[in-house]
């Protein structure tokens, strides 16, 4: 007993299989090209001076971007200080007090739409709120812009983490006389901490590469910033500035900075992923 497919239909199937394979290969090509150029061009310029020295003026050799590394860390720290409490508190409300309600759906809708708003809009918002109020472009404004970008990611992962804590844990705590606050702060949050930490790290990794909002809030600074109410250098803006520069030394530094950021993001993504998987099986 056998069944044969008409040759035309068979050929069509084979053709489509080749086409789909081709799509996958075609798309894998740019990724490998990006990784390869970032690694090869980044490694060739990597040196200790890169981490300690200041950006070189045109036509000068050497130099580094110590100020941009410190600046990126400063802006990210400000962003984390704002977005982590906001994201976690909102997640607690949605998961612990309003689970399954219309309001929870409304918050989810708002967060989904917020995460689709272009990052440059966050920059404009931070400009209107912080720069216009304080009268200066600053690290603080950059931090506020990145914080709004991070809030949706922090909230979503924190909510998932809280919801994965079994209901019996809460019932047990309430049963021995704990209040809601005690239950959440001492039982539920610690249990959900690993996935919350993963979410915060992922959101920081995403914010570390954001350029557009910093371009119009933190600007750039060729030296070390003296406070958070001053323009500050950051790695992504340095890449943007040096990518458009006609000097080879500056272009090389742009590649080294790209290597640092991409390495950071890849490590964080891979670690977060394997971590999430372990959680899942545990």
Query: Contacts with other proteins in 46-85 (CB under 8 A)?
Result: 85
Residue of the chain from 94, 158, 189, 192 that contacts other proteins (CB under 8 A): 94
**Binding to other proteins in span 168-207, by CB under 8 A:** 179-182, 184-185, 205-206
Are the C-beta atoms of residues 156 and 110 closer than 8 Å to each other? Answer: no
Tally of residues, the chain: 282
Q: How many CB atoms are closer than 10 A to CB 78?
A: 20
Are the C-beta atoms of residues 250 and 62 closer than 8 Å to each other? Answer: no
- Rounded to a whole number of angstroms, the minimum distance from the CB of residue 36 to other proteins is 9
146 binds other proteins (CB under 8 A): no
Among residues 107, 73, 275, 74, the alpha carbon closest in space to that of 193 is found at 275
223 binds other proteins (CB under 8 A): no
**Binding to other proteins in span 227-246, by CB under 8 A:** 236, 239-240, 243-244
- Rounded to a whole number of angstroms, the minimum distance from the CB of residue 54 to other proteins is 20
Nearby residues of 242 by Cβ (< 8 Å), 6 or more positions away: 55, 250, 251, 253, 254, 257
Angle at which helices 248-281 and 235-243 cross, to 10°: 140
- Rounded to a whole number of angstroms, the minimum distance from the CB of residue 227 to other proteins is 20
Over the window 109 to 138, marking each residue x when it contacts other proteins by CB under 8 A and - when it does not, the resulting string is xxxxxx-xxxxxxx-xx-xxx--x----x-
10 binds other proteins (CB under 8 A): yes
Q: Number of residues in contact with other proteins, rule: CB under 8 A? A: 91
CA 71, 72, 73, 79 dihedral sign is positive
Residue of the chain from 52, 81, 106, 223 that contacts other proteins (CB under 8 A): 106
């Amino acid at each position: 007993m056998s069944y044969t497919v008409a040759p035309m239909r068979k050929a069509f199937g084979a053709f489509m299989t080749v086409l789909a394979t081709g799509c996958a290969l075609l798309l894998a090509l740019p990724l490998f090209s990006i990784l390869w150029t970032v690694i090869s061009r980044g490694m060739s310029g990597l040196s200790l001076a890169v981490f300690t020295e200041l950006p070189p003026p045109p036509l000068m050799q050497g130099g580094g971007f110590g100020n941009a590394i410190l600046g990126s860390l400063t802006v990210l720290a400000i962003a984390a200080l704002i977005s982590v409490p906001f994201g976690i508190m909102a997640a607690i409300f949605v998961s612990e007090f309003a689970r399954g309600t219309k309001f929870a759906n409304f918050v989810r809708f708002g967060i989904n739409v917020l995460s689709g708003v272009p990052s440059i809009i966050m920059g404009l918002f931070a400009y209107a709120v912080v720069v216009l109020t304080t009268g200066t472009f600053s690290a603080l404004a950059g931090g506020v812009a990145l914080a709004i970008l991070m809030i949706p990611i922090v909230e979503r992962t924190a909510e998932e983490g809280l919801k994965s804590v079994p209901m019996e844990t809460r019932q047990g705590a309430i049963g021995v006389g704990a209040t809601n606050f005690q239950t959440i702060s001492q039982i539920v949050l610690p249990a959900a901490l690993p996935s919350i930490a993963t979410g915060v790290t992922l959101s920081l990794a995403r914010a570390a590469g954001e350029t557009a909002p910093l371009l119009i809030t933190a600007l750039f600074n060729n030296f070390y910033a003296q406070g958070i109410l001053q323009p500050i250098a950051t790695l992504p803006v340095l890449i943007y500035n040096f990518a458009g520069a006609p000097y080879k030394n500056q272009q090389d530094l742009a590649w080294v900075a790209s290597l640092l950021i991409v390495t950071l993001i890849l490590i964080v993504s891979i670690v977060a992923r394997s971590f999430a998987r372990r959680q899942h099986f545990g």
